[in-house]
């Protein structure tokens, strides 16, 4: 299985570029490898294409810690008459009906928060505002089998999981709903989300 994971910090803000009719969000991460006097910094160039690149471009800022999971690939090209090879990590997501859903939603800063329809009961949800540098947060139905769900993992932090008031959501049979006005997940702003089904068979029980 061709999968790799890197954790590092952004040495500079991401840049959004037009490539034909599409857009790509280019960014780098600096990741330390090795130990002691053999420790060095690995510089990794990354590109996120399409609407997700446009959405995340605003929140990928210098100094931010990020975790990347993707597929490693290489390409060959010519520059100034010299044949060169570049290594890339690809982050490719495709929605599968009843299994996965990706998109954006608008928060409303209310405890009676926004509802996001996925068409299934999510087992795993990741949220991130695209308008500011707030945390990447993860909810799941294993740690919170009944509502309200308020146990949060932060992908861009070394802190342990957070549980308590201020980050509540409901995980429902056909999506999820904000139950807090907290700015990390429900400010009056745009948020990106990824959700994967608890029972990926197009049918799920309510809870």
125-173 pLDDT per residue, tens: 999 887 676 778 899 999 989 898 988 888 777 776 777 778 899 999 9
Say yes or no: domain 4-90 is CATH 2.40.50.140: yes
Write down the pLDDT at residue 118: 92
Tally of helices (H runs) and strands (E runs) in the chain? 2, 15
pLDDT-derived band at 83 (thresholds 50, 70, 90) equals: confident
Question: For residue 165, which phi and psi values (nearest 5 degrees)?
Answer: -65, 150
Write down the pLDDT at residue 120: 92
Write down the pLDDT at residue 172: 93
Chain-wide mean pLDDT for the chain?
80
pLDDT at residue 85 greater than cutoff 60 = yes
Q: What percent of the chain has pLDDT over 70?
A: 81
Segments making up each domain of the chain, as ranges = 4-90, 100-197
To the question of pTM greater than 0.85 for the whole model, the response is no
Query: Is the peptide bond preceding residue 171 cis, with omega within 30 degrees of 0?
Result: no
């Amino acid at each position: 299985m061709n999968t790799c994971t890197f954790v590092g910090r952004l040495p500079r803000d991401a840049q959004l570029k037009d490539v034909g009719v599409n857009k790509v969000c280019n960014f780098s991460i600096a990741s330390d490898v090795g130990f002691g006097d053999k420790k060095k910094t690995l510089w990794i160039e990354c590109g996120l294409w399409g609407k997700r690149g446009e959405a995340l471009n605003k929140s990928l800022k210098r100094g931010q810690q990020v975790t990347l999971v993707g597929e490693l690939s290489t390409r060959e090209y010519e520059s100034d008459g010299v044949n060169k090879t570049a290594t890339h990590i690809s982050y490719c997501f495709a929605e599968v009906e009843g299994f996965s859903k990706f998109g954006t939603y608008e928060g409303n800063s209310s405890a009676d928060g926004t509802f996001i329809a996925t068409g299934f009961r999510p087992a795993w949800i990741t949220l991130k505002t695209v308008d500011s540098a707030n945390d990447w947060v993860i909810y799941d139905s294993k740690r919170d089998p009944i509502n309200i769900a308020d146990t949060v993992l932060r992908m861009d932090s070394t802190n342990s999981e957070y549980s308590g008031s201020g980050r509540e959501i409901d995980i429902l049979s056909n999506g999820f709903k904000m139950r807090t006005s907290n700015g990390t997940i429900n400010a009056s702003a745009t948020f990106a989300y990824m959700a994967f089904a608890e029972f990926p068979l197009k049918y799920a029980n309510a809870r």
